[in-house]
Amino acid sequence: MLLNSAQDGVQTKQDKISVTKGLLLNPNTESYEHLDEQSQQLVKKTIAFFENKGKEKLKNDDHERVWYADFLEFSKTEKLFATFLTPDKSGEGNKRWDTSRNCAINEVLGFYGLNYWYTWQVTILGLGPIWMSNNEAIKEKTAQLLDDGAIFAFGLSEKEHGADIYTSDMGLTPQKEGGYLANGSKYYIGNANEAGLVSTFGKFTDSGEYVFFVAEPTHENYELVKNVLNSQNYVAEYKLNDYPIGEEQILAKGRDAWDMALNTVNVGKFNLGWASIGICTHAFYEALNHATHRHLFDHYVTDFVHVQELFVDAYVRLAAMKLFAMRAIDYMRAASPDDRRYLLFSPMVKMKVTTQGEEVINALWDVIAAKGFEKDMYFEMAARDIRALPKLEGTVHVNMALIVKFMANYFFKPGSYTHLNRQTHGKNDDFLFQQGATKGLGKTRFHDYKKIYSQFNQPNIKIFKKQIRLLKLFLIVGKPGKEQIKDFDFLLNLGELFTLVVYGQLILENAQLLGVDDQLLDQIFAVMIRDFSKFALQLYTKGSTTLTQQTLCRRMVKRPAKNNSSLSYVWDTYVHSMKDQYEMKP
């Protein structure tokens, strides 16, 4: 991650280039200076584990679907999960739940393979309800299990209902002698084969009230049915058959259990964007190394202008993903009962960053073509795994449905907040486990987006600001009607336009904090203008779009400012200069 900050003093052009070049992860050179020394060493040891494992073994384990016992043994020995995923109140020393350093691990695990990230991710989800609960005995047991190297699981979704938790069929039936018997099944539950505890969501059969409780896979009444995937991961179907549950195993009841489920997803979904960033970064190095050494038709592949444009497009999208996700960390860590802006930015890291990751891989794949299918390439895994992330922890559509709820307040009812600096200090993120009720989204306010946009006047940012004004005008004079609001495809396209505004806002905020090269920013917004125009055109073609709406949509379609020198500058300064800077050890 970037370490320098524009707030440290006046930056020269070379300073900005240096900062910008440090944006993408290079495992060979990353220092993690924003972390404390112990955390730095633990992240670097994680990198070393994968480099020592080597690319050939990494790929073979993926192809042969080998359970990642070696990685879990590493985590146990080094206490990786225990150190990073135990809140300070439940642990000692350097243990804390720190979103900034957790995202360093998210990125590294994504960089080396989504399978390794997945076992970390579902452990985070499994821990969420436990750390949010008031069950101190279970918390104490969990902290010890983490110390012993355990992983965890999150039993929410079901085969027939997916993540529709309103209709959960997992039931707890009260017994005359006290306690309950749990019966039902869960489906698509990662780590449920070897988890120390499985946080499980269900209902009381007598009252219909929601309940969260823990179950243990080693219990005789816990039936591990199968792995539903053909993968290194174990994504289980499991059943509880008259599984005895006492009050001591219950985490929450009623509304608290419901809120616990959704708040856990709020924390967990944020990680998906970071996994996507890691995957894309490794794939970028591999694709660039291949293309720059490939000689065809008496030219290197990267001599062709269209190839340079594809690489620049992939690079600026990836840089934007990183800038946005880094800034979103600050809002996650600064969250409080009076500042719930993270409720917009977290689903955007999940939805927007992961879908942009698909665009990055698509552009790279257009360059390396058939090479991307080869079994020895990391890219083969990347092309497969990048598709998964938009579909996990709620689909793009589910997250967009949440995001559009904030649109009116974002544009028309800004709140007043003090400036938020980077949140890289080593502290426990207490509020993530004290989020409270998951209602009242209409009360959430956001700082005025116009403030940061007004401080940038590069050619493409100026054009993008015109698009924003037209979108705002659309919401005033072309306000969607009742039938349009019911048309989710209509709202999905409108939401895509909205998310681009938010995306640009946080990118600019972070660029200002870090001191990112203005010419890179201009290229980022050239891409965003094209994307904005695409979604405006899709909205225009909807059958229900009114004449006024059609007129405004046509006006939103704009061309980026033509600047071949800026494109060449980004290619020469940032893209081509990455050639041979990283290659995984064989």
**pLDDT profile of the chain (586 residues), mean per 10:** 55 93 96 95 98 98 97 98 97 96 97 98 98 98 98 95 82 96 97 98 96 98 97 97 98 96 94 98 98 88 93 98 98 96 94 97 97 96 95 74 89 95 95 90 92 97 98 94 86 93 98 97 97 97 94 97 90 96 97
CATH number at residue 53: 1.10.540.10
Q: Which amino acid is at 376?
A: D
Residue 3 pLDDT: 46
- Is 127 a member of any domain? yes
Domain for residue 81, yes or no? yes
| Number of domains the chain is built from | 2
Token reading at 380: 């083969």
Q: Do 48 and 144 share a domain, yes or no?
A: yes
Answer whether residue 409 is part of any domain.
no
Examine the domain organization and report whether 169 and 228 are in the same domain: yes
Residue 391 burial (C-beta neighbours within 10 Å; 0-12, 13-18, 19+): exposed
In-domain check, residue 360 = no
Q: Are 402 and 303 in contact (CB under 8 A)?
A: no
Residue with tokens 């938009």: 390
Together in a domain, 146 and 159:
no
Q: What pLDDT is recorded for position 8? A: 56
What region does 254 belong to: left with phi over 0, alpha with psi -120 to 50, or beta?
left
Residues 211 and 136 in one domain: no
Give yes or no: residues 120 and 46 share one domain. Answer: yes
**What tokens appear for 149 in the block?**
């190297």
Listed residues 125, 150, 175: the one ending a domain: 150
Query: How far is it, in rounded angstroms, from Cα 548 to Cα 484?
Result: 14
| Whether residue 210 sits in one domain with residue 136 | no
Do 132 and 187 belong to one domain? no
Q: Which of 564, 163, 231, 150 is nearest to 399 (CA)?
A: 163
Backbone angles phi, psi at 102, to 5 degrees: -60, -35
CATH of the domain at 186: 2.40.110.10
Report pLDDT for 343. 94
pLDDT for 442: 82
Please check whether residue 85 lies inside any domain of the structure.
Answer: yes
- Tell me what pLDDT residue 174 has: 97
Give the pLDDT confidence score for residue 7 in this predicted structure: 54
Show which of 185, 218, 253 is a domain's final residue.
Answer: 253
CB atoms within 10 A of CB 466: 13
107 lies in which domain range? 22-150
C-alpha 535/C-alpha 471 separation (Å) is 11
Q: Which of 504, 463, 456 is nearest to 348 (CA)?
A: 504
Q: What residues contact 526, with CB distance under 8 A and at least 6 apart?
A: 316, 460, 560, 561
Do 42 and 83 share a domain, yes or no? yes
Q: To which residue do tokens 């409720």 refer?
A: 343
What SS3 string covers 466-535?
Answer: HHHHHHHHHHHHCCCCHHHHHCHHHHHHHHHHHHHHHHHHHHHHHHHHHCCCHHHHHHHHHHHHHHHHHH
Kindly state whether residues 146 and 208 are assigned to the same domain.
no
Is residue 326 situated within a structural domain?
Answer: no
How far apart CA 422 and CA 333 sit, in angstroms, is 10
Domain termination residue (choose one: 89, 116, 150): 150
Q: What pLDDT was estimated at residue 299?
A: 86
Domain assignment present for residue 529? The answer is: no
- 3-class state of residue 357 by DSSP: helix
Q: Look at residue 216 and tell me if it is in a domain.
A: yes
pLDDT at 6: 58
Domain shared by 28 and 143, yes or no: yes
**Amino acid 485: pLDDT:** 84
Q: Are residues 97 and 141 in the same domain?
A: yes
Which of helix, strand or coil describes residue 52? helix
- Answer yes or no: do 133 and 194 share one domain: no
What is the spatial distance between Cα 434 and Cα 397, in angstroms, rounded to a whole number?
A: 27
Give the integer Cα–Cα distance in Å for 577 and 575. 5
